[in-house]
Amino acid sequence: MKNYKITLIKGDGIGPEIIDEAVKVLDAVASSSGFHFSYDEALMGGIAYDITGDPLPQETITKSLNSDAVLFGSIGGPQWDDLPREKRPESGLLRFRKELGVYANLRPAVVYDELINASSLKPEIIKGVDIMVVRELIGGIYFGEPKGRDENKGWNTMVYSREEIVRIAHQAFRIAQKREKRVCSIDKANVLDVSQLWRDTVIEVAKEYPDVELTHMYVDNAAMQLVLNPKQFDVMLTGNIFGDILSDEASMLCGSIGLLPSASVGEKIGVYEPIHGSAPDIAGQGIANPIATIASASMMLRYALGEVEAADKVDNSIKKVLSEGYRTGDLAQFDAKEVCSTSEIGSIIANYLER
């Protein structure tokens, strides 16, 4: 029996609750699919700072690199907002991504038919939406030098090398080949020199993928087009800060940020996590929606472990839960037949898999 070693980083806020439900589902699908998981927990975020004085202990990096994949919950909370920037949970996460070399963030935005009324947009606009945002994750303005602040001004630098653009572009084109074969590259080439380099480099890479259609769009227009006509997009390729914003916008096409997963992948390891935050205001109440984390676990099965059939089983179980009207509180007003707790939703999905 195959055994996969998974590093679990539960983090802060609702992180422990949602990771526990994903583990419940992973164990259920493993049992029915003929493989096994072993888990090793590691610290990151505010809890890591409280215990070790560092939001990212070296042990966490080591454990992660020695595993088959990382399943991550969420970090942060107001109690750590006044720390020096390098000690804040978010700084640990940025450093974590850089240390692991996970340069490509994959964020699908898929509208479930069962929740089509949960979106603020009209059903005819969003029905059938299936977008993959491919965001460069360890470059751009979040990592560029110089950066700093004095009492009168602050400054950050958006920097991309050709090599960084080439590798993320290849990711986008390879993903598009398995979808509708369309890539829209998002930049601000009419204003930013770094975006002109981005555009020119993506055009070069596109020559290696003659079966994929490449278009370009300025980021401000892309933000508008996402709500005007989202079905025009298949794969959206973009840099770190633009992708951060656009992927959150795309998530709201689907009605709830609590539904959407993500994968951060590199040459050595992949990190799988929900796109939402730590939601400290509802932590410990058992009302968080675990579906985004469970769907992230499905992405882990598919992309990191190659267990495509098991991933399909998890995805189908999520759809079945939604089609039968089970909802957490964030979706209770949308055709709910039964409002469930975090743990109940996880158990229902797991039970479908066991059957």
**Active site residues per annotation:** 142, 188, 220, 244, 248
Annotate 48-91 with DSSP letters as a single string: HHHHHS-SS-HHHHHHHHTSSEEEEEE---GGGTTS-GGGSHHH
Say which residues have a Cβ less than 8 Å from residue 354's Cβ, sequence separation at least 6: 28, 31, 32
Query: What's phi and psi for 4, nearest 5 deg?
Result: -110, 135
Say which residues have a Cβ less than 8 Å from residue 44's Cβ, sequence separation at least 6: 9, 11, 55, 56, 57, 60, 72, 75, 89, 92, 93, 96
Q: Give whole-number Cα distances, 83 to 91, 95, 147, 156, 301, in Å.
A: 11, 16, 19, 20, 36
For residue 114, the 8-state DSSP code is: G
Query: What's phi and psi for 155, nearest 5 deg?
Result: -150, 140
Q: Give whole-number Cα distances, 90 to 27, 48, 94, 154, 234, in Å.
A: 30, 12, 6, 19, 30
State the greatest distance between any 2 C-alpha atoms of the chain, in Å, as a whole number. Answer: 63
Which run of H or E residues covers position 265?
strand 261-265
